[in-house]
Structure 1
């Protein structure tokens, strides 16, 4: 079974040079009364002008991946880390019990476009930590690349049964899903940019996604496309009371 999630389900926010489109993937199944889908709490697709400052603010019980495709950000946090985040350098903030951070979009690098991804941890009150990952290349062309997940073969660690991968699929190329990392896996295939046909039955454009369970569809790029793949174990233990990753209906 696969279900298309189009852009009409998203919530938009705009404040000056700061704009985001928020996806709560669970809202496609209102009967479950969960705004998230298993461990996937919320996905923010952001476009932010250079010079914009997002002042110090808290998080609690969120696993947060900053995944940029353009722009450079200066990061500062309550754990004492300072770093520059870009499309070659990703960051995972495992907020846990308490955590605060500040982000400033730098003039060099232009407009920021990327995802702020909020994953649910296994349990509340974990110790806070921050991780960084340096990518050899900004894009992984026509091949799935492991970004973050549970397990030593993922460069950034998530504290629940959740896995994230990405790729750039060139025009005319086809790909299938990677092997499921666990039983009861579900896949959320998110088109960051471009246009993708799914098994020649549905078409996804920028910002749209498809939720896949117990199916093995094929994907063909109508135009060169950047994709982020979310994998969750549907019966995974998770805490749904996180500050941003939590269930809106809780």
Structure 2
């Protein structure tokens, strides 16, 4: 029963292996995770406003030259190492475990990315959110995020007006969590919304269903769902309104 006394539905857990959709540009490599493909018969590679979650690798001394994005929200999450950013607005920013970068591309935003020769190899996630409207005002957010606490969800971004430290222009909340082996947390959830979980390091079970390294799970239904670490793990979760209005004209996150 929920707080209103109504019976809550059991969660449906759709798991997906590591994506086979990848690009190899030698010192820059990407793996595209499409949350909609976890659901049999789903006619969209994305899931509502969450278009894709990209696992990106950059070797030391890599430069991705200035390029443009349009009509998409791009979030760079760097759990280890550094990603160096500059753009045509004159920003020179470093994204690392203490900072999150959100590019609200809107009608157009140009940027470049780089790792210095003495930086460590970089593995990060670049998250593409579909905005609710086309040709919005472009902008950038780069903020220090709260310190991570073991075995607790940390709120990273959410819709405009939410309590999250950074925002995107659609109905997606994002959280990360660093779990000790054997620890259990409850997956972020909300009535009428669904949750997509990606295992960045380690392995977990989601209500007893195994989800391993670089695998993912899309959870629907309104029952509390447990995430238990079978080893020391880092996971990231997206709470999504599947019925939010979306646009599909992004440069990458269509």
Fold similarity call, TM over 0.5? yes
Of the three residues 215, 218, 230, the one matched with 1:211 is: 218
Q: Check conservation: 1:21, 1:44, Cα contact below 8 A.
A: yes
Residue 126 of structure 2 is matched in structure 1 by: 116
Q: Check conservation: 1:133, 1:155, Cα contact below 8 A.
A: yes
Q: Check conservation: 1:147, 1:154, Cα contact below 8 A.
A: yes
Runs of 4+ in 1 over 2 A off after TM superposition: 27-33, 106-109
**Cα distance in structure 2, aligned partners of 1:231 and 1:88:** 22
**Cα distance in structure 1, aligned partners of 2:137 and 2:103:** 11
Note if 1:2 corresponds to 2:18.
Answer: no
What is the correspondence of 1:172-187 to structure 2 with a 5 Å cutoff? 172-180=182-190, 183-187=191-195
**Cα distance in structure 2, aligned partners of 1:32 and 1:165:** 24
Of the three residues 89, 96, 102, the one matched with 2:99 is: 89
Of the three residues 8, 12, 17, the one matched with 2:22 is: 12
Q: Check conservation: 2:103, 2:140, Cα contact below 8 A.
A: yes
What is the correspondence of 1:1-250 to structure 2 with a 5 Å cutoff? 1-7=12-18, 9-29=19-39, 31-137=41-147, 139-150=148-159, 151-180=161-190, 183-200=191-208, 202-214=209-221, 215-246=223-254
Q: Check conservation: 2:27, 2:62, Cα contact below 8 A.
A: yes
Higher strand share: 1
Q: Check conservation: 2:145, 2:165, Cα contact below 8 A.
A: no
TM-score under structure 1 normalisation? 0.92
Long gaps (5+) in structure 2: 1-11
Number of aligned residues: 241
Cα deviation code 1:126-152 (max 9, x no counterpart): 010000121353x33111111001133
| Residue 30 to residue 12, structure 1, CA distance change in 2 (3 Å) | same
**Cα distance in structure 2, aligned partners of 1:152 and 1:29:** 28
| Residue 130 to residue 206, structure 1, CA distance change in 2 (3 Å) | same
Q: Check conservation: 1:71, 1:105, Cα contact below 8 A.
A: no
Q: Secondary structure of the residue that 1:43 maps to in structure 2?
A: strand
Deviation at 1:35, TM superposition (A): 1.4
**Cα distance in structure 2, aligned partners of 1:203 and 1:179:** 19
Q: Secondary structure of the residue that 2:41 maps to in structure 1?
A: helix
Deviation at 1:237, TM superposition (A): 1.1
